[in-house]
Amino acid sequence: KDPIKVALPAKEMNLTYNKGGMFTTICDMDIGGEKHVVLARDVQLHPVNDQVMHADFLRVTAKTKIAVSVPVKLLGEEESPGLRDKGVLAMVRFDIQLNCSAMAIPDFVEVDISAAEIGTTVHIEDVTLPEGVTPVLEHNFTILNINEPRAIEVEEVVVEEGEEGEEGAEG
């Protein structure tokens, strides 16, 4: 269908955008008595005050397949033996690009690290994704690592003071 221009209240748009999840939430938009099921796809912000100036919405149906960015949610951080042993959690991806139905977008991807030891690497194939959801990237990418803590050793340098005139006596 052809695009439709609409004006939305600025206050509500900014609140919705700043709350988060705007690009993964399906909305019902009533335009002139006709209902449209839409999903926000792009937002343009004012360069100075970061207020929403323009938003693009995509009409979706149950058949619509889309790529969305979904945040990673960690489970079991307190129980993780690697983190209890002072391991360092290195997040490689805070969100994951997923292909899914527009009507079944997950709110987040859960990654359980309750049994993760130091040296553990979690890849996308280690995560259970909802039915019908696949990663956009086809390779087995890394989501996070639990690394061994590193300490920087600093050697103390002792400067011995010699007698005056020893080095510069000839000059």
**What token pair was written down for 116?**
């993760």
- pTM for this structure? 0.72
Question: Under a CB-based contact definition with an 8 Å cutoff, are residues 33 and 72 in contact?
Answer: no
Question: Under a CB-based contact definition with an 8 Å cutoff, are residues 67 and 24 in contact?
Answer: no
> What pLDDT is recorded for position 169?
53
* Closest CA relative to residue 76, chosen from 121, 115, 128, 122: 115
- DSSP E strands: which ranges in the chain? 26-31, 34-45, 52-59, 65-75, 88-91, 95-101, 109-112, 121-123, 134-135, 142-147
Lowest mean pLDDT among 26-35, 54-63, 84-93, 155-164: 155-164
Mean pLDDT (whole number) for 53-73: 92
Question: Under a CB-based contact definition with an 8 Å cutoff, are residues 46 and 17 in contact?
Answer: no
